[in-house]
Amino acid sequence: MTILILLRNTVANVRQRTLRANGNGGFVEVKRKFCITTQRQNQLPHLSPYDVNLILRENEFMYTFTDDQSTVLSYETNQLASNSPCEDTRTEASFNNKPGFICGIFDGHGGPACSQVISKRLLRYIAASIIDRKVLNEQIQNGCNSQTFLKCHNDKVDFVKEIKDIYEESFMKFINHLSSQTSKPRAKAIEDAFLLLDRDMSDEALTKTSMMTMSVAMSGAVAVVAHVEGLDLHLASTGDCTAVLGTQCSETGQWTSKKLNNEHNTDNQQEVARILSEHPKEENDTAIRGDRLLGQLAPLRALGDFRYKWSKEDLDKHVVPVFGENFVPPNYHTPPYLTARPDVEHHRLTVNDKFLVMGSDGLWDFLSPSQVVALVAEHLNSKIIMEPVKLPSGDVTLQAISDILAERKAGRKRKPLDQNSATHLIRHALGGTDYGVEHSKISYYLSLPQDSVRYYRDDITITVIYFNSERIKALTSKSS
C-alpha cells in the first residue's frame, strides 16, 4: 500500500517485509542470506573502485567541534541503504541552552515512516526533558517551539505542513506539562521522553486519524541514543541497535571493546522472561513464537508498531477498515505486547575512553564489537600519523626524531582509503576478508538488484563519536 510522502525530498512507501506462513497460525520473515552464488556473481555488473567509492561515500558526514570545553571532539557518520527507501535514519545535535551533545540512530521496519518521524522528534523531547526547569519556563514564555532547544548538524529535510502542525501542537502540550513538574534524574528523564513521544504518536493516530498519522503508527522503529555532557555518557536503547565503547589502556596501548547496551530480541533471555511474565501462562507458546513477538516482530521493544500495543477494539475501529484483518496479529489476546521503554545506561568517561560506535543491526550482521573497535582504532591511528609532527617536550635526540619520522613513514603505507571512519567500517563490513578488503566482494554487495538485496544485507547506519581526551583529563582532575 502506498502512503503519502511524510518528508520533503523523501519517497516514503509503507510496506510489510516479506513474510511466509510458519504453519502455526503466524508468519516469519524470510531470513537474509550472507552468501553469493557463482551464478549470481556472473549476473551482476562489476563496479569499478571509483563507482564503489561514490556509493560508499554518498551519505557520509563529518563534524568537528571548535569549543575546547566540549567533551566530544568530533563525530563521523554514514549510511548505506538496502531498502528503497532506506528505513534507517540518524540525527546529531548540540544543545542551544546548555553544554552537551546528543545523537541517535533509528532503524525502521514496516516502512520508513516511523523512523523518519522519530529521528526528528525524539531528541527534541529528550532535550526539553533534561534542561533546567527555569530555562524551560523562560523559553516557553518567549514563545519557543520544537526547534528551540537543539541545533542539528546534518538535517536536510522537514515535515510537510499538515503533519508538522500536529507535531508542534503535541510538543507544546508536552513541554507545558513538563514545566509544571520538578526535574527528574537524567536517566529517568530520558526514559520518560521515549515513552511520552510514543504516547503522543499513538494519540495523534487515534484522534487525528489520517493516512499520515496512521502510516507512522503502523510502522515502527528501534532506537539507540547517546547523550554526552561533561564526564557523563548516557546511552538509551530500545530494540536491537548496538553501541560499543572503544577504550585504550594508557600503559600497554591495547584496545578493548565494551558494549553499553543489550539488544531487545530473543537472544536476550531476560527480555523473553519479562514478556512472558506480563501475559497469562496460556500464551507462553504464542506471545513469542519462532523467535518473534507474536510470530511476527523481531525486536521485542520498539517505538510505534501500535498494532502490537492498542486494544483489540482500537484495532477493529481504526486499523482493520484501512489496512485489513491481516494487520491484526495472530493470538492477540492481552495487549499490549510491545513497549517503547528504553534501557538507559550511565557511563562515567575516563581518559582511556577514546570513541563510541553506534550502529544499526546491519553493521553487526557483519562485524563483531571487537572487530569494529579494532578497525576504528586502526583508522584513528592512521589519522594521527597524518597530522603535523609534534616533538616531545624537553631535550630530543636526533635518534628520537629519526624514529618518529620512520614510524610516520611506515604509517603512511597503512593510510586507509576513507577519511570517514564510518565509511571505513562499511567498506570492511562488505568487503573484509582474512587478507584485507576485497574489492570484488564489495562490488557484488553493491550491485545486487533491489528486489533481492534485502536478503543479503540490511540498511547500515553508523555514527562514531570521538572524545576529547584533554578535556576529560581536565574534568577528571577537577572532580577528584
Does any domain span residue 291?
Answer: no
pLDDT (tens digit per residue) in 64-91: 999 888 999 999 999 999 998 999 999 9
Q: Is the pLDDT of residue 456 over 60?
A: yes
Same domain, 205 and 71: yes
pLDDT (tens digit per residue) in 253-273: 899 999 999 999 999 999 999
Residue 88 in contact with residue 460, Cβ under 8 Å? yes
Does any domain span residue 450?
Answer: yes
Residues forming a β-bridge with 238 = 223
pLDDT in the model for residue 34: 41
Does any domain span residue 251?
Answer: yes
Give the model's confidence band at 306: pLDDT under 50 very low, under 70 low, under 90 confident, else very high.
very high
Residues forming a β-bridge with 94 = 101, 151
Same domain, 62 and 112: yes
Give the model's confidence band at 377: pLDDT under 50 very low, under 70 low, under 90 confident, else very high.
very high
- Rounded to 10°, the helix 186-207/161-179 angle is 140
* Full domain range(s) for residue 416: 49-264+338-479
Does any domain span residue 290?
Answer: no
Question: What's the average model confidence in pLDDT over 136-163?
Answer: 90
Same domain, 87 and 21: no
Same domain, 34 and 74: no
pLDDT (tens digit per residue) in 321-370: 999 999 999 999 999 999 999 999 999 999 999 999 999 999 999 999 99
Same domain, 32 and 123: no
Share above pLDDT 70 across residues of the chain, in percent, rounded to a whole number: 85
Q: Which helix (H) or strand (E) holds 308?
A: none
Beta strand spans in 140-231 (E): 150-152, 220-229
Does any domain span residue 438?
Answer: yes
Residue 379 in contact with residue 424, Cβ under 8 Å? yes
Q: How many CB atoms lie within 10 A of CB 370?
A: 13
Same domain, 106 and 23: no
Same domain, 17 and 141: no
Q: How many CB atoms lie within 10 A of CB 73?
A: 18
Does any domain span residue 328?
Answer: no
Q: Considering only CA atoms, which of 346, 442, 365 is closest in space to residue 88?
A: 365
Q: Is the pLDDT of residue 10 over 60?
A: no
Does any domain span residue 379?
Answer: yes
User: Grid coordinates standing for 278?
Assistant: 506480563
Same domain, 22 and 76: no
Does any domain span residue 327?
Answer: no
pLDDT in the model for residue 30: 40
Spatial CB neighbours of 134, under 8 Å, sequence gap ≥ 6: none
Q: What three-state secondary structure class fits 331?
A: coil
Residue 280 CA to chain centroid, in angstroms?
33
Give the model's confidence band at 385: pLDDT under 50 very low, under 70 low, under 90 confident, else very high.
low
pLDDT in the model for residue 12: 27
Share above pLDDT 90 across residues of the chain, in percent, rounded to a whole number: 73
pLDDT in the model for residue 436: 86
Task: Determine the length of the chain.
Answer: 480
Same domain, 12 and 144: no
Query: What is the number of domains present in the chain?
Result: 2
Same domain, 162 and 103: yes
Distances (CA, A) of 258 to 108, 120, 268, 370, 374: 25, 28, 17, 8, 12
Same domain, 406 and 441: yes
Distances (CA, A) of 12 to 71, 110, 113, 342: 37, 11, 7, 26
Same domain, 28 and 145: no
Q: What are phi and psi of 61, to 5 degrees?
A: -150, 140
Q: What CATH number corresponds to the domain at position 463?
A: 3.60.40.10
> Is omega for the bond preceding 280 within 30 degrees of 0, making it cis?
no
Q: Is the pLDDT of residue 423 over 50?
A: yes
pLDDT in the model for residue 26: 41
